[in-house]
Structures are given as C-alpha cells and as structure tokens.
C-alpha cells in the first residue's frame, strides 16, 4: 500500500523563475495588443467582413475545449474508480479551471467592447448558443471548484458519496460544455464547413486529446518525477486512444460532407484547393498533430523511453489541435457563402470569392497571452495550495 499526500510547488530554481517571467511578459504583451486593437479598431488585424473570427478565436476555443478534457483524469478517478489516477485528480481540476479562464479572457478581449460583457451576462437571447454557453462556462467553474473542495477538505473527504456525486455532475457538465462549444459551429447553417451534428462529438474527442496533453506537460514541468513508469504507460495508452478517436470523427466528418453533393465544394476547397488551409490540414493536423505523435508513442517500449516520448507527443498533439481549429474556424469562413445553391454568384462585395486572411502580430500576441495566463494561474495555484501528489511507500 502507498500513503498519499500532497504538497505545494516549492521549486525556486532560476529556470523556474525564468518561465514565470516569460509568462508575465507574454501576458503583458497580450494586454498591450488588446488595448492596441481596442484603440485602433480591428482594421489593424487580419480580420475583415468575411473573416470575423480570427487567430485569437482559434486560441480561445482551443483553451476552452482543452479545459473540458483536462478534467478527464479526475473523472477517471472518481467516476470510473480508477485508483491509479487519484493522485492527479486535484491537478486535473485546477488545470481545467485555469484553461477555461485563459480561453475566456482571450475570447472577451477579441470580441471588442469588453466593458459591455455585463450586458451580455444579464440580457439573454436563449435562441443563441452563445447565451447558453455563459451558463455552461460559469457553471463549470463553480462545479469544478466544489469538486476540488470535496477532494481537499478533510470533512468533505469523509463523505465519500459527496465526492462521487460532484464527480458525476462535473463529468456530465463537461460533456455538455464541450457539446455547447461544438454546437456554436454545428448550428451555423450558412457555413457549409461548420453545419453538422457531428461537430459536438468531434469537439468532445478533441477535448480529450488537448486536455490530457496539457496535463502531461504540466506534470513533466513540475520536475519531481511525477510520472511513474506505470502512469506513463497508462497516459500513453489514453493519448493514443483519444487521438485515434479524434481521427475517426475527423474522417467521418469529411466523408459526410463529401456524401452530400451540396457540401462537396467546401470539402474540395479544404482538402485540395484551399492553399494554406489545405497545407495546415494535411501537414499540421494530420501529419504533425496525429500520425507523428502516434508513431512517437508506439516506438516507446520501456518506461524510460515512454517518459521521454510523452512530452514530445503532447506538444505535437497540441500543435495539431491548433491546426485543426485553424482549418475549422478560419478555413470555414474563408470559403464563400453559397447564397444561391447551384448558381455562380459574383459581385463587387466579394460574393463568391475566397476570403483573404493573414493573422497580424497583435492577434498572435493576444492568443499567446491566453496560454500564458493559463500557465501563470496554474503556477500560482500550485505554489499556494497542495495540488501536487507525493507518493511514498510504507517502507519509505
């Protein structure tokens, strides 16, 4: 038997302080970029009347989707009773919250007029999936907060039923949250690349990959050999299964579009004639973000090589995630709206023309600041409260 206890992150190495300094720097640059865009308008970005969701939206959705998946380890522990994951449930919960906060911060600053957020939170149009997502996001933070309390408070720990109940609620809520995020795109009938019920399960599968990859990198960054040989093998299996599931839903998504003759145009555009979007799909999402990390994980045969392969594979999965969302969000907008099916349309207002989009530096800085905010909040939380596990055998 092993005794389980938790501790704070107490690392004071120069490298650790350098990482914190870089996080603060990118956060400041992102805030400066947001103020610059607020002052001069979105004309200083690459966005236009056709591409209204740019690179910051890619980062925002990426972090929000990853937040749901980051809670997966905690769910495996409490909902599915996998004891091996119990030491990492606290870290899983706090990372889910910080990822969501980072994504929402980028989203609010990118939409413009962030001071009007209070109106959006008090005046609802319940025919809009965006209105429902306000409840889903805020509810997720509250539920995961209660989940962490049930894991960390001594009296709450005695009530096993309480932790189980909150765990089930958190598990169900995260699935609904990711369904809502995917439905933002799935409900948009006008955008042929988006519209489809499969967007919800596609985003759920993506959340499993992104969230677990983030968790692996945070664990490795603690520098405490937090990933044992047994856990490394389990994480390798989970990443492989989740990635293959995401690849499956991606294939089904595109095959479904190809089957419908009215959607073949957008599929040919994204997969063959889309220029940069085609390259990002095949090289970024499929090759670099799916096949290559799967090969890296498959070649790891022993615990030592698996621990070395996990961070590399996780980084590649995250790169593939950004590529996937770039193709979905921006590539889907670049393809012209089909106002009159079966008829070729042209006008002086870019009707029937593929939209041009080049991300600007302020957009990139704002997106990276969301990642920096997530990592900075995670670092502060790990230093203030005992989230990191320390497993000792009885002989030790």
| Residues 246-268 pLDDT 10s | 999 999 999 988 887 777 888 89
- Place 394 in a pLDDT band, splitting at 50, 70 and 90: very low
More confident residue, 344 or 212: 212
| Torsion angle of C-alpha atoms 283, 285, 291, 292, degrees rounded to 10 | 70
- Quote the tokens at residue 305: 């090589």
State what percent of residues in the chain have pLDDT above 90.
Answer: 48
DSSP result, 344-364: ----TT-TTSPPP----HHHH
Phi and psi of 191, rounded to 5°?
Answer: -95, 110
Count of domains observed in the chain: 1
- For the stretch 13-65, pLDDT in tens is 787 788 889 999 999 999 999 999 988 888 899 898 889 899 999 999 999 99
Q: What is the CATH number of the domain that holds 24?
A: 1.20.1630.10
The pTM score is 0.91
pLDDT digits (tens, 9 = 90+) for 130-163: 778 788 898 999 999 999 988 887 777 677 777 7
Kindly state the percentage of the chain with pLDDT values over 70. 92
Q: Please tell me the number of Cα atoms within 13 Å of 228 on its side-chain side.
A: 10
Average pLDDT of the residues in 295-323: 92
Three-state DSSP state, 66? helix
CA distance 284 to 143: 35
Dump pLDDT digits (tens) for 266-301.
Answer: 889 999 988 999 999 999 999 999 999 999 999 988
The string of pLDDT tens digits covering residues 344-360 is 766 767 677 888 899 99
pLDDT digits (tens, 9 = 90+) for 118-136: 776 677 777 777 778 788 8
pLDDT at 226: 67
Res. 380: pLDDT tops 60? yes
Question: Residue 134's domain spans which residues?
Answer: 2-393
Q: How far apart are CA 68 and CA 168, in angstroms?
A: 14
Q: Which pLDDT does position 164 carry in this prediction?
A: 84
Report which of residues 5 and 241 the model is more confident about: 241
Residues 6+ apart with CB under 8 A from 257: 192, 193, 196, 263, 264, 266, 267
Question: 128-167: string of b/e by CB count within 10 Å (b at 16+)?
Answer: ebeebbbebbeebeebbebbbebbeeeeeeeeeebbeebb
């Amino acid at each position: 038997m092993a005794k389980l206890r938790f501790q704070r992150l107490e690392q004071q190495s120069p490298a650790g302080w350098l990482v914190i300094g870089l996080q603060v720097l990118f956060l400041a640059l992102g805030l400066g970029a947001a103020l610059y865009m607020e002052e001069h308008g979105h004309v200083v970005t690459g966005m236009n009347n056709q591409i209204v969701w740019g690179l910051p939206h890619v980062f925002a959705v990426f972090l929000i989707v990853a937040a749901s998946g980051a809670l997966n380890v905690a769910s495996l522990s409490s909902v599915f009773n996998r004891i091996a994951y119990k030491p990492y449930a606290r870290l899983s919960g706090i990372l889910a919250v910080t990822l969501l906060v980072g994504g929402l911060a980028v989203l609010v600053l990118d939409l413009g007029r962030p001071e009007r957020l209070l109106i959006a939170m008090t005046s609802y149009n319940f025919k809009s999936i965006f209105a429902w997502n306000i409840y889903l996001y805020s509810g997720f933070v509250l539920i995961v907060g209660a989940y962490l309390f049930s894991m960390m408070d001594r009296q709450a720990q005695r009530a096993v039923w309480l932790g189980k109940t909150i765990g089930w609620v958190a598990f169900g809520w995260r699935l609904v949250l990711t369904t809502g995020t995917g439905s933002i795109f799935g409900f948009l009938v006008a955008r042929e690349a988006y519209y489809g019920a499969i967007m919800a399960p596609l985003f759920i599968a993506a959340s499993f990959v992104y969230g677990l990859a983030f968790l692996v990198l945070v664990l490795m960054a603690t520098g405490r050999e937090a990933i044992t040989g047994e856990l490394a093998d389990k994480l390798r299996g989970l990443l492989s299964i989740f990635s293959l599931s995401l690849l499956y839903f991606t294939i089904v998504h595109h095959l479904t579009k190809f089957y419908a003759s009215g959607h073949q145009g957008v599929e040919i555009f994204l997969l063959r004639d889309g220029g940069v979007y085609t390259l990002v799909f095949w090289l970024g999402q499929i090759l670099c973000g799916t096949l290559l990390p799967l090969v890296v994980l498959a070649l790891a045969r022993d615990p030592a090589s698996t621990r070395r392969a996990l961070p590399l594979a996780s980084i590649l999965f995250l790169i593939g995630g950004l590529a996937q969302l770039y193709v979905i969000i921006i590539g889907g907008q670049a393809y012209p709206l089909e106002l009159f099916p079966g008829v070729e349309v042209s006008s002086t207002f870019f009707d029937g023309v593929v939209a041009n989009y080049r991300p600007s530096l302020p957009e990139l800085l704002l997106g990276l600041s969301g990642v920096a905010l997530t990592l900075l909040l995670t670092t502060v939380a790990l230093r203030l409260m005992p989230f990191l596990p320390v497993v000792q055998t009885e002989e030790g």
